[in-house]
Structure 1
């Protein structure tokens, strides 16, 4: 007869549980082919195309884990987040085939989007190169506008290094996946970009807000204005959140940290505001390297960004 062992629980489950508290990670439900929900989540663990050293392939797992740090209750709104997050898992990434990986992201997300199980999507990178394939898949049957929170234009040419994390929006414009007038960049930072790419953005009608612009206007007011403009021209709006838009004090786990960036509260408020609009239906979070993070600070901000998106959905729809 097998003897029971006192006080032991399965590995990873011997944690404190408050009967009145639901942790945010409990909202995640694995995709089983038959369930529907409010939000779909996909991990895209790619960092090989990064210009600088990056362990961003580990970020999807780190962000999911960081959800354990938060509850589902918004005291500011006086509500519990109950939206079910259908977790489709992670797209397979080949160790060396960068071009193939971008194609796998495109094809994998095509399949995911066609399940029609949810109406809103959260994509966890990975470096910023994943946004090219993700937005391309999202724009297959609709016109898409993009609000990009970023310190960099990510409009580098592809001749000097191929499709890197510095090229996704150049490729989207060159391939006519999106129109320049439907791309808005917020948080572009000094001494972080080349003159040629600033000129390229202007030439193609991209709307650019630098950190200097944010000294006279709030990020939230800019996001609200640009979303209303985009909503008149496109079918759906996609948020692309490069975590290095934040000052290095708020996001030490980004490969390209630097001073002079945005504070986390400004970003979170903007995401909540944006997600309250019915045409904002997808968001990616990119450029976190958990191997260089400090006490998971950056992954925790990313998890909070995810929750802010959900709070905005509940507020406005």
Structure 2
């Protein structure tokens, strides 16, 4: 069975200032059951997804289950610019056990819902991209069927593979699409950074059938950021809330070598950072997750540092 465990405070280290100048001094590691007691008027919660079973099932490089702690170790060293009224809580990890992947996704969805009910902003750290089905289900369980959820995915892959033979890291958005179909809900999905060399023809066909909006890698570049922001704003305008997911294997391996499926042909951090500014400025963002951090193949913690910097921007823009 999947399980939940809290984070050891000594996971976070960095320079000591006694003035909370660094995030390791700001972050409080607590059990998720204590969130409602510890939350302030403005609270952010970090939750790990200690699972790479989906990557294994999708024939990727295993090791992403160690991703959450690798990101934490780099995040704690970064400077803290949050005000004293903002709580930054680490609420532990959801861990895959010996059960099927769907049960781990279900436990994750329950924890995400707990955080949202406690009026905290969840930032999840993975782990395989199967994290996204759990995040989405947690949001939907909390807001119900009356509000529409828009998914913005920074990724080279559609991750729309069929789950007919079980879930894996390539199936989360197909699972979400099927969930929406079952509940007679619209499927709003925007994917930024799609590559032809990372998706076969059947996946492009499925994306068309599901009316997925996407920008391909050759257009997802910083020199087109005004047009990209216009597309993002048009997408956001048609939904009630936004859930953003960042697959680190969408970045060029020059920036993110420590991932499950690396490629030198990916996008660059600058265009993602600009896009995140647009998303957070909308006021509709309710959750973020970062997937496919694989420290087994990282170089000088480069990918973990990238993930930590992305989180740093989100928490200071939220």
TM bucket by the smaller chain? 0.7 to 0.9
Greater Cα radius of gyration, structure 1 or 2: 1
How far apart are 1:229 and its partner, in Å?
Answer: 2.3
How far apart are 1:285 and its partner, in Å?
Answer: 0.3
Q: Deviations over 1:139-180 (max 9, x none)?
A: 222421011000101011123x42110010011111217633
What is the rounded CA distance, in whole Å, between the counterparts of 1:13 and 1:205 in structure 2?
42
**What SS does structure 1 have at the residue aligned with 2:307?**
helix
Q: Which residue of 1 aligns with 2:208?
A: 202
How far apart are 1:200 and its partner, in Å?
Answer: 1.0
* Aligned Cα root-mean-square deviation (Å): 2.4
The counterpart of 2:50, out of the listed 40, 45, 49, is 45
**What SS does structure 1 have at the residue aligned with 2:69?**
helix
How far apart are 1:112 and its partner, in Å?
Answer: 2.9
How far apart are 1:209 and its partner, in Å?
Answer: 0.6
How far apart are 1:244 and its partner, in Å?
Answer: 0.9
How far apart are 1:217 and its partner, in Å?
Answer: 5.3
The counterpart of 1:87, out of the listed 57, 76, 90, is 90
- 1:295 and 2:303 equivalent? no
Q: Identify unmatched segments of 5+ residues in structure 2.
A: 1-9
What is the rounded CA distance, in whole Å, between the counterparts of 2:306 and 2:221 in structure 1?
22
The counterpart of 1:179, out of the listed 183, 186, 204, is 186
What is the rounded CA distance, in whole Å, between the counterparts of 1:211 and 1:102 in structure 2?
29
How far apart are 1:15 and its partner, in Å?
Answer: 6.7
The counterpart of 1:170, out of the listed 170, 174, 177, is 174
What is the rounded CA distance, in whole Å, between the counterparts of 1:69 and 1:269 in structure 2?
23
**What SS does structure 1 have at the residue aligned with 2:124?**
strand
Q: Which residue of 2 aligns with 1:126?
A: 127
Q: Which residue of 2 aligns with 1:311?
A: 316
What is the rounded CA distance, in whole Å, between the counterparts of 1:152 and 1:251 in structure 2?
15
Q: Which residue of 2 aligns with 1:7?
A: none
Residues 268, 305 of structure 1: 8 Å contact kept? yes
Q: Counterparts in 2 of 1:94-243, with a 5 A limit?
A: 94-116=97-119, 118=120, 120-140=121-141, 141=144, 142-159=147-164, 161-176=165-180, 179-180=186-187, 182-214=188-220, 218-219=224-225, 221-222=227-228, 224-243=229-248
What is the rounded CA distance, in whole Å, between the counterparts of 2:125 and 2:76 in structure 1?
16
Structure 1 215/12 Cα, relative in aligned 2: closer, same or farther at 3 Å? closer
Structure 1 249/132 Cα, relative in aligned 2: closer, same or farther at 3 Å? same
Instruction: Report the count of equivalent residues.
Output: 292
Q: Deviations over 1:102-125 (max 9, x none)?
A: 221122322332223x2x221111
Q: Which residue of 2 aligns with 1:55?
A: 63
Q: Identify unmatched segments of 5+ residues in structure 1.
A: 1-10, 74-79
How far apart are 1:278 and its partner, in Å?
Answer: 0.6
How far apart are 1:236 and its partner, in Å?
Answer: 0.8
Greater fraction of residues in helix: 2
Structure 1 283/216 Cα, relative in aligned 2: closer, same or farther at 3 Å? closer
Q: Which residue of 2 aligns with 1:17?
A: 16
Q: Deviations over 1:10-31 (max 9, x none)?
A: x899975346671123232234
**What SS does structure 1 have at the residue aligned with 2:129?**
coil
| TM-score normalized by the length of structure 2 | 0.84
Residues 252, 293 of structure 1: 8 Å contact kept? yes
Q: Which residue of 2 aligns with 1:259?
A: 264
Structure 1 158/294 Cα, relative in aligned 2: closer, same or farther at 3 Å? same
**What SS does structure 2 have at the residue aligned with 1:282?**
strand
**What SS does structure 1 have at the residue aligned with 2:54?**
coil
